C-alpha cells in the first residue's frame, strides 16, 4: 500500500454503494468523502478514478476531487481516469454530458484528452511547475 493510498483511506470512510445492472446487484469498493463517493485504483505513482458519484448536494464531487488532488500533491502522484458519465439507479439517464464533464474537470486543473475516451490527467505538482 502506498502512502497516498493510506492517506486516502484515513480521509474517507467505506461505502456500501450498490448498483443493479445486467448481472444483478454489484457492490463497488467506493470510499465516501462528504456527500460523494469514489472508487479509486491505486498504482505506484498514480490514482485512477474508476467511478465517482455525488450522493447529494451541489459541489460535493468537487470537494472529493479537491481532497484527492491534495493527496496527489502531497505524495507526488498523478490522477487519471475517463470523463464519462454513466447511469445509476437513481439517475437512469447519464448526466452531465461528456462535454460538460470535461469542462468540469478542466475547471479543477485536469488535462482532458480528445473524444471518444476523454482521458483526464492531473499531473504531479513538479510537472505543473515545469520541473518534470
Share of the chain above pLDDT 70, in %: 84
Calculate Rg over the CA atoms of the chain.
15
Count how many domains the chain has.
Answer: 1
Read off the CATH number of the domain in which 60 is found. Answer: 3.40.630
pLDDT tens digits, 13-43: 999 777 666 677 777 889 999 999 999 999 9
Instruction: Name, of 2-16, 50-64, 71-85, the range with top average pLDDT.
Output: 2-16
Domain range for 86 is 3-128
Residue 131: which pLDDT band, with cuts at 50, 70 and 90? low
Query: Cell 454513466 appears where?
Result: 86
DSSP state of 108: T
In whole angstroms, what is the distance from residue 4 CA to residue 2 CA?
5
DSSP tag of 5: H
| pTM of the model as a whole | 0.83
Amino acid at each position: 500500500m502506498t502512502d497516498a493510498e493510506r492517506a486516502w483511506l484515513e480521509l474517507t470512510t467505506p461505502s456500501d454503494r450498490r448498483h443493479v445492472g445486467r448481472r444483478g446487484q454489484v457492490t463497488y469498493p467506493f470510499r465516501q468523502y462528504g456527500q460523494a463517493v469514489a472508487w479509486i485504483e491505486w498504482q505506484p505513482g498514480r490514482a485512477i478514478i474508476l467511478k465517482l458519484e455525488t450522493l447529494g448536494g451541489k459541489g460535493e464531487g468537487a470537494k472529493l476531487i479537491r481532497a484527492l488532488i491534495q493527496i496527489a500533491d502531497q505524495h507526488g502522484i498523478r490522477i487519471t481516469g475517463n470523463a464519462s458519465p454513466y447511469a445509476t439507479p437513481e439517475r437512469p439517464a447519464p448526466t452531465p454530458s461528456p462535454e460538460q464533464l470535461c469542462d468540469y474537470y478542466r475547471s479543477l486543473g485536469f488535462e482532458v484528452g480528445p473524444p471518444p475516451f476523454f482521458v483526464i490527467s492531473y499531473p504531479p505538482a513538479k510537472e505543473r511547475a515545469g520541473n518534470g
